[in-house]
Amino acid sequence: MSPHRPLLRLRVRVRGTGGSSYPVLIGSGLLSTLAAHLKKTVPAHRYFIVTDRIVARLYGKRLERSLRHAGLDARLRAVPAGERSKNRSIKARLEDWMLALGGGRDSAMVALGGGMVSDLAGFTAATFLRGIPFVPIPTTLLAMVDAAVGGKTAVDHPRGKNLIGVFHPPRAVFADVSTLDTLPERQFRSGLPEVVKSAVLGDVALFRKLERAPAAFLMRHPAALAGLVAACCRIKAEVVEADERESNLRAVLNFGHTLGHALEHLSGYRLLHGEAVAVGMALESRAAAAAKILPSWDADRIIELLKRLGLPTRPPQGASPARILAAARSDKKSREGELHYALPRRIGRMARRQGRYSIPLPDSLVLSALRHS
């Protein structure tokens, strides 16, 4: 299955409410032993593998054959690559496919791919026959450090990103960092903003490591990547365990996303999610500094690190400040017409106001950040 032998295995456990939990297994060459892991952790009568057409050629068809060779009933379905496939129409087609093949409550859904596939397949699993087990196998850095962990699933709506979805925690997550070898450079770098976000909200040492030696991660060394993914998963696990349904603390994971989602939507998803979040973090850091929430030198460090990682920090030309704010109001992070933001107090610690991590900012401050970016 994989040209890499399993070099290392790191494990992070995510604990949810009611005593539920699931493992995140991180390593190199995990795909070659996936059948054994599935038999042990997520036994099922049939495994529906959802992927996109690019990943299907790289790994999907071989994974299907590998599972069948191990005696598992595995069926593969590939959707068009890209965010435009994350919609209700594609979800309905997946449901029709699963029903036509006789899928039952003893089936399981395997999501092989990036964040789009994880969100789409996870939402489908959550509603199919009122819920079947869901197993993400992320193949992008973005999905490994963010989308595959935490249980959020959704599809997009013409009015905005991720507006229709549910919480459906996975049974297990398998992150094979060797799949990052085939990731195009732009897609790989698009995962780095979520790494920076993780460091800003809870790991000063990780932030300093990124500042000191970004090349170690950009060169995609398996051990460095596995450690990076594990560090981000531990940070996210701590947040999810404390606030699984995003009643308060989990809002910190939205740093850069209030404006980032608006930029992504306005671009017609030509701007990758990570690129949009990078710009969002830069803009929101500037606004937080103007509001005296974040020291200006910490805002400068965040923006400089994003630049050193080869990421954008300014909105695309033609995206007017007024349009960006209008698009942001359609997002889930708007409350009674007022935009809320997750903002750092300093690198390694997020800000609270009246006990809440979701903080309103005057439009004037945000517009100023947009105009002077």
E strands of the chain, at which residues?
Answer: 9-15, 21-27, 46-52, 74-79, 107-113, 134-138, 152-157, 160-167, 173-176, 334-335, 338-341, 344-346, 349-350, 359-360
Q: Please report, for the domain that includes residue 289, its CATH number.
A: 1.20.1090.10
Summarised one tens digit per residue, pLDDT across range 149-205 is 888 999 999 988 899 999 999 999 999 999 999 999 999 999 999 999 999 999 999
Asked about 130 being catalytic, the answer comes back as yes
Q: What is the pLDDT of residue 333?
A: 60
Provide the pLDDT confidence category of residue 332 given band limits of 50, 70 and 90: low
Residues 71, 41: one domain? yes
Residues 125, 20: one domain? yes
Asked about 65 being catalytic, the answer comes back as no
Asked about 39 being catalytic, the answer comes back as no
Asked about 11 being catalytic, the answer comes back as no
Residues 287, 239: one domain? yes
| Segment 220-243 mean pLDDT | 91
Summarised one tens digit per residue, pLDDT across range 48-87 is 999 999 999 999 999 999 999 999 999 999 999 999 999 9
Question: Which three-class secondary structure state does DSSP give residue 362?
Answer: coil
Last residue of a domain, one of 159, 187, 215: 187
Q: What is the pTM of this model?
A: 0.90
DSSP 3: S
φ, ψ dihedrals at 162, nearest 5° = 55, 35
Residues 180, 195: one domain? no
Let me know if residue 2 belongs to a domain: no
**In this model, does residue 5 exceed pLDDT 60?**
no
Residues 6+ apart with CB under 8 A from 120: 50, 79, 85, 86, 90, 91, 94, 111, 153, 155
Let me know if residue 3 belongs to a domain: no
Asked about 221 being catalytic, the answer comes back as no
Of 234, 236, 265, 340, the active-site residue reads: 236
Residues 164, 289: one domain? no
Of 75, 91, 152, 333, the active-site residue reads: 152
**In this model, does residue 133 exceed pLDDT 60?**
yes
Of 91, 257, 286, 333, the active-site residue reads: 257
Q: Please report, for the domain that includes residue 178, its CATH number.
A: 3.40.50.1970
Of 194, 264, 275, 284, the active-site residue reads: 194
**In this model, does residue 326 exceed pLDDT 80?**
yes
Of 4, 254, 275, 286, the active-site residue reads: 254
Of 91, 250, 265, 286, the active-site residue reads: 250
Full domain range(s) for residue 63: 9-187
DSSP 316: P
Of 261, 286, 333, 340, the active-site residue reads: 261
CA nearest to 261, candidates 248, 253, 273, 250: 273
More confident residue, 244 or 341: 341
Residues 152, 93: one domain? yes
Question: What is the share, in percent, of the chain residues with pLDDT greater than 90?
Answer: 80
| Segment 292-307 mean pLDDT | 97
| Of 90-99, 157-166, 329-338, minimum mean pLDDT range | 329-338
Residues 329, 352: one domain? yes
Asked about 4 being catalytic, the answer comes back as no
Provide the pLDDT confidence category of residue 3 given band limits of 50, 70 and 90: very low
How many Å apart are CA 103 and CA 116, to the nearest integer? 23
Tokens read off for 137: 């196998």
Q: What is the pLDDT of residue 8?
A: 59
Summarised one tens digit per residue, pLDDT across range 244-270 is 777 788 889 999 999 999 999 999 999
Asked about 248 being catalytic, the answer comes back as no
- Number of other CB atoms surrounding residue 141 within 10 Å: 29
Q: How many helices (H) and strands (E) does the chain have?
A: 16, 14
Of 83, 246, 275, 284, the active-site residue reads: 246
Asked about 185 being catalytic, the answer comes back as no
Asked about 284 being catalytic, the answer comes back as no
Q: What is the pLDDT of residue 337?
A: 65
Q: What is the pLDDT of residue 335?
A: 62
Asked about 275 being catalytic, the answer comes back as no
Residue 360 backbone class (left: φ over 0; alpha: ψ -120 to 50; beta: rest): beta
Of 171, 273, 333, 340, the active-site residue reads: 273
Last residue of a domain, one of 147, 163, 187: 187
Provide the pLDDT confidence category of residue 242 given band limits of 50, 70 and 90: confident
